[in-house]
Amino acid sequence: MNDRFLRACRREPVDRTPVWFMRQAGRYMAEYQALRKRHTLLELCRTPELAVEVTLQPIKALGFDAAILFSDLLIPLAPLGLPFDFQSGEGPVVEKPIRSRADVEALRRFEPREELGMVLEAIRLLRRELKVPLIGFAGAPFTLATYAIEGGSSKNLALTKGLMYGEPDTWHQLAGLLADVVSDYLRAQVEAGAQAVQLFDSWIGALDEADYREFVLPHVARIFEGLDGLDVPQIHFGTATGHLLGLQREAGGTVVGVDWRTPLDEGWERAGLDVAIQGNLDPTLLFAPRERLLARVDDVLRRAGGRPGHIFNLGHGILPGTPVENVKAVVDHVHEATAR
Amino acid sequence: MNDRFLRACRREPVDRTPVWFMRQAGRYMAEYQALRKRHTLLELCRTPELAVEVTLQPIKALGFDAAILFSDLLIPLAPLGLPFDFQSGEGPVVEKPIRSRADVEALRRFEPREELGMVLEAIRLLRRELKVPLIGFAGAPFTLATYAIEGGSSKNLALTKGLMYGEPDTWHQLAGLLADVVSDYLRAQVEAGAQAVQLFDSWIGALDEADYREFVLPHVARIFEGLDGLDVPQIHFGTATGHLLGLQREAGGTVVGVDWRTPLDEGWERAGLDVAIQGNLDPTLLFAPRERLLARVDDVLRRAGGRPGHIFNLGHGILPGTPVENVKAVVDHVHEATAR
């Protein structure tokens, strides 16, 4: 069992800096594309054997130190009462986005063991196969709410912020329900075998500190409180969060994820040197010539300074079209450069 | 002549803090929508009388302290050799995006008085009508290059960064040409009568400091050097630039624009207290109830601290659907709250 990922999350010494990439299972791999020709994205997420196969693809091919369950942030929205689908080239589309208090009141907390059993089954199957730790995950309330309210991806999040500002009670009811759902879901993933969890609050970078503190922090804190007593690392991730890292840390988590806009050493100081740090190569650097790519990997490692508690990752998900050989080169380079 | 905008740009004392909003002429106004029923966006930009009419609409209705020429960032791309159009609901589409060195070599520097005479004519006409200062503007090389390379709006800027990293010589040739074009264009706008200019580098927030320094800063610095000797305020604007404000200042400009993610006082310190500062209300707050909206306006003013050199603005352009009465309320409130 390769446990350097779990050791780094606990800020224990490691033989090599562990590496995994967000969206490491996905479109940049030919193996994945072959499966996608026969199945929709939701079929891959909702069929345990397929989710297992996709999750394992990059572990076998590329040597990552952790696996992340292949799934999608939006999966819990359907049993909550918000069915959605992926339209080709357009991303997710929520059938009936939330626009009112009544829409929020129509949602229901659910039992993940009943409604999302296929995800938990994939976790159980994966644990039999894997020789690296398995990370479970969920979207955080703000990020899930942006999809639920906007109906899909959005540039300005104007509807989301409009609801926050205009009907704060409705917002807090929605975010509180999402916090309960996410907490239940992450706990169920851990009970099924996930050895770490990552909370993706990918879009909070659009908020200033005051809004984060008022509309987001209490709900995220509730999620982490709901995980109390589970002895697994809890990664708290967002993008464009240079100004929010201290507040994210306050909200909770034992590992803070930082994107490439914030130099890793500065991000670690803002999040606190008493948590582990995950990041933070710009995913577009994987399109760069090898020399530039590895120089920037070395810069991340230099900023980590060999201090226990660094998990090497991208600053956001790997992009479609990324050359697989560059991914492999980074994984190998991190391992070689940090061998102790 | 209301000159409080120009005085604030020069960090001179003012009777009231000046206010203008990015995209203050546009879709949120019924007067604009009425015109758009009869004309395309490009017709409005390219017909001096129409550009004048649209520019004046918010000045007459809402009491802003400066007018900004109604135009579009992409206007210089067509004479450069990159024709484009706006497709409804999809934003700009560049007909033949740049993909190679040969594509860059096919572009040509042009004389704005010949190729963009209609813009300069609109400026001359506006100066006869306006009793507030007129701001000219252009997109900065990185931001223009994202449209030229991606072919339109883009979430990850993967093609842009791919060209930067993969063919740095081609990148610098393109960005250098864009810097010349922008410098010529801004100079021509000032010579036609623009009393201040704003350089929009809207998308640089996607870069880290190292990339900004290598790929952006030299070209932006060249633009500001090209404006040497023109005695007009030069506003340097970007979004999500909390980590770049010091470098932006180093690149040039006499006013630095800051978005809402960075508290105004922190942003001013990072940019340097010896420049003026412009910002920084989150545009989505204009959808909020009046009490919350004005409390946040007051917070911006409190952070400005009554120090000479603050121009009140949004942190990015005003959004379609913004209630006009809230815009008016903010303009009036800033004037009342800062009356000296």
Q: What is the pLDDT of residue A147?
A: 97
Q: What is the pLDDT of residue A140?
A: 98
φ/ψ bin of A308: left (φ > 0), alpha (ψ from -120 to 50), beta (otherwise): beta
Question: What are φ and ψ of residue B72, in 5° steps?
Answer: -135, 145
> Above 0.85 for ipTM, yes or no?
yes
The Cα–Cα gap between A29 and A324 comes to 7
Residue with tokens 């990324």: A322
Domain limits at A247? 4-337
- The answer to whether B254 and B290 have CB atoms below 8 angstroms apart is no
- The answer to whether A324 and A26 have CB atoms below 8 angstroms apart is no
Q: Is B321 in Cβ contact with A289 (below 8 Å)?
A: no
pLDDT at A87 over 90: no
Put simply, whether B13 touches A (Cβ < 8 Å) is no
3-state secondary structure of A71: coil
Cα torsion for B235, B223, B109, B96, to the nearest 10°? Answer: -60
Q: Which of residues 312-331 of A touch B (CB under 8 A)?
A: 319, 321
Residue of B nearest to A154 (CA): B155
Q: How near does any CA of chain A get to the CA of B202, in Å?
A: 13
Of B166, B206, B287, the CB nearest to A158: B287
Instruction: List B197's β-bridge partners, or say none.
Output: B136, B234
Residue of A nearest to B165 (CA): A288
What is the full DSSP assignment across B287-317? Answer: GS-HHHHHHHHHHHHHHHTT-S-EEEEESSP
Q: How many domains does chain A have?
A: 1
Question: Length of chain A in residues, anyone?
Answer: 340
B63-73 pLDDT, tens per residue? 999 999 999 99
B131-180 pLDDT, tens per residue? 999 999 999 999 999 999 999 999 899 999 999 999 999 999 999 999 99
Q: Tell me, what DSSP letter sits at residue A213? A: I
Give mean pLDDT, residues A310-320: 97
| Range A240-260 burial, b when 16+ CB lie within 10 A, else e | bbbbbbebbbbbbbbbbbbbb
A227-272 pLDDT, tens per residue? 989 999 999 999 999 999 999 999 999 999 999 999 999 999 999 9
pLDDT at A90 over 80: no
Of B156, B206, B284, the CB nearest to A161: B284
- The answer to whether B73 and B41 have CB atoms below 8 angstroms apart is no
3-state secondary structure of A6: helix
Give mean pLDDT, residues B86-113: 94
Q: What is the pLDDT of residue A13?
A: 97
Give mean pLDDT, residues A9-14: 98
The Cα–Cα gap between B82 and B139 comes to 15
Q: Which of residues 270-299 of B touch A (CB under 8 A)?
A: 282-285, 287-289, 292-293, 296, 299
Of B158, B261, B288, the CB nearest to A165: B288
Q: What is the pLDDT of residue B129?
A: 96
φ/ψ bin of A230: left (φ > 0), alpha (ψ from -120 to 50), beta (otherwise): beta
pLDDT at A82 over 80: yes
CATH number of the domain where residue B69 is located: 3.20.20.210
Give mean pLDDT, residues B199-219: 98
- Nearest CA to A207 out of A198, A226, A197, A220 is that of A220
Q: What is the pLDDT of residue B96?
A: 97
